[in-house]
Every structure is written in C-alpha cells, then in structure tokens.
Amino acid sequence: MNITKYLSWFFRFNQIIRSIMIFLLILVLAYIDYVTPKEMSIRLFYLVPLFLTAWEGTGLSPSLFFSFLCTSLYFYTEYLAGNIYHHGIYLIWEFIISWSFFIVFVVIVNAIRKSNLVIDMKNQELNKTNEELKKANMVKDELLKMTSHDLKNPLSNVMSISTLIKDSKNIPAEEIEQLAGWIYESSKRMSNIISQYISNNLGNNSKLYAYVKSFPIDNLLEQIVKDYEFKAIRKNITLNLIYPLKNMKVESDEINIYQVIDNLLSNAIKYSPKGKVITIKVYYDTIPDLNENDESVIVQIKDDGPGFKEEEKLKMFNENTKLSAVPTDGESSSGNGLYIAKKIIQEMNGKIWVESHFGHGTSFFVALRKASQ
C-alpha cells in the first residue's frame, strides 16, 4: 500500500468515526427530547450535530441525511410523547417544514464554511506573495549593497590614477600608457560588476546569479594583483603571488570569485603598514567538510597587519561589523567586505576562514572546488 492510498484510507476512516459520533449525539438528543416534559421542546438543539456535520466538511449528502434523521427522530419522540396532531396531511406538512428548516440551516453553514475556506486560501496566498515580495526586496537591497561596495575599489583606483595624472607634470609616455592601462582595467572591472548586478536582478531573486564554469585561478589572481599594483606602489607594499603550477583550474563563477579575492586583497593593503609584504599563495589541499576526500584549491592572502583578537574573529564575517583594525593611510571602510565575501563563497559552495594572532598579521583562506582536468 503506497502512502497516497494509506492517507486516503486514513481520512475516510476519520470521516466514518466523525459520522458515528454525530449519529450517537443525535440519538442522545432524541432520548433527552423523549424524557423531557411535554411543554418543553429541544428541537433547536438538533442544530448542534447538524452544524458539526456541515462545518467539519463531511459533505452535503451526509449533512442532508443527518438532517432527515434529526427530523424523523424529533417527530418520533414527539409521537411517543403524544404531542403530534395525527392528521396525515398536517403531519406530512409539519415534517416537510421541519426538515426544510434543518436543510436550510445545513446549506447556510456549508456555504459559510466554504466561504471561510476561500478567504483563508486567499489570505494564505496573499501572505505568501507578501513574503516573496519582502524576500525579493531584501535580496535586491543585499545585491545593491554588495554592488556598491565592490564598485568602490575600482572607482577609487580610477580616481587616484586620474588625480596623479592631473597633478603631475612631464609624465613619461611609457608611464602614461601604464596608468591608462590601469584605468582601463578598473573601468572594465566596474562594467563587469554592473553587468553582474543586472543579471542578479533579472534572474533568480532568491540567490546570487552564478555562471559556474572551469577557469584558471592563477590568471584571475594575476589580474587582481595587476589591478592593485598602483595602490600597493603608493604604500610601498610588495605583492607576492605564489602558485606551484600554471593553469590551476577551479569550478566556480569567475566574476563572483574575483569580487571575493578583490575584497580580501583590498583589506590586506588597506590595513597593512607601509613597506610590508602581502603574500597571495595558491595550493591544493583536502578540506574534509567541503569536498570530502577530494582536493580543493586554496587561496591564501597573508598580510603583516595588526591582526585580530579572538573575540573579533567570531564576528568578523557578520554584517556591518567594525573591528579594531584601522586603515593605515586614511582609507574608508564600510564593515561589509568580509560579510559579502562569505556570502558569495557560500553561494559558490566554497569555504572561507581566517587565521590571525593579534599583533602578528592575518591570513584569509578561500577554498574552491577543483575543476576536473
């Protein structure tokens, strides 16, 4: 017996039990009607089992049957008590009138019940729609927050380079060409972020849009390091990119992963003192709670900044979290970069975590699914 047949039998059994209970209740009322004094009538009390029959949804046919039963028992008890005028036509007429009264009552109750069911269904649909709209609105707010945060870094690059060009005189042509290249790459980055935002709004509103494919993580990291070369030079920071093999491929969304590494490297530069070294290292490792026994591609970003206290590490990936570290060159901080990074990595079925000792620098790790070669 499959589950559908079992449930069907179960509900039929429950309906039979309810019908038996209503039938017994009608018999009890008939007995009470019989033993009460002649001058008393409990006809209206028969409306109770009829109400239960109609309101419980046993169907119109059982309700009509029970209304006929109530009428018959009522007349029978009245007959036994000698309260009925025995003229045939009068008896039939009063029987029809009484039964019609019960039928009208049952039909009205059944109609009210159906109306309530329709209203409840409409309310449920309305509540569901409101929840979906509320959820969609929250997701759009989240996407807007993430997009505005991610636009900040490339826009800052463009402004800084443009200011340098405007304020400097006699810049060599080779340097102008290099600065123009940085501006182009930052502008291209902003265009990609805006395109991603549009895709998220046109696509599934319950989660981030993701175009998962296989791509070389080393090429992406080289591009990010190149994008941040100008900021690193301004703070005399050395960016050291280490990867054991060329063409180390991951299975993920390239634009979203770019945003994550971009946030982490931006923070590393922002909070590192001048003259320090930031190391971006890529290697293979097994993360048991991520891909079981399969190897993952790990990206480590290590800086020589102030580090974090133990209590800060517990909340650093929360939204709108301001930590004790202060940007070393007056840069701004929204407190949402790590929250956004974790949200993206979770959507990409990856993992992000931190290792840090206060006063001794910080290492952020991002684990991504290794692509099959």
Q: What is the pLDDT of residue 89?
A: 65
pTM over 0.85: no
Give mean pLDDT, residues 252-256: 85
Over residues 182-229, the pLDDT tens digits come to 787 778 777 776 766 665 554 544 456 667 889 999 888 988 888 888
238-242 vs 277-286, strand pairing mode: parallel
Over residues 75-109, the pLDDT tens digits come to 777 666 666 655 556 667 777 777 787 788 878 88
Closest C-alpha among 304, 286, 287 to residue 240 = 304
Over residues 4-58, the pLDDT tens digits come to 554 455 445 566 677 777 778 777 877 777 777 665 666 677 777 777 777 766 6
Over residues 310-357, the pLDDT tens digits come to 888 888 888 777 766 677 766 666 667 788 888 888 888 888 999 988
Burial class (CB in 10 A: 0-12, 13-18, 19+), 258: buried
- 228-232's contacts with Cβ under 8 Å and 24+ in sequence apart are 228/265, 228/266, 228/269, 229/182, 230/157, 230/160, 230/161, 230/179, 230/182, 231/157, 231/160, 231/269, 232/269, 232/278
| Helix axes 254-271 and 217-227, enclosed angle (nearest 10) | 40
Fold of the domain built from segment(s) 210-369:
Heat Shock Protein 90 (3.30.565)
pLDDT at 302 over 90: yes
Conformation bin of residue 82: beta by default, left when phi > 0, alpha when psi is -120 to 50: left
Domain definitions of the chain by residue range: 3-131, 210-369
Closest C-alpha among 254, 189, 257 to residue 227 = 189
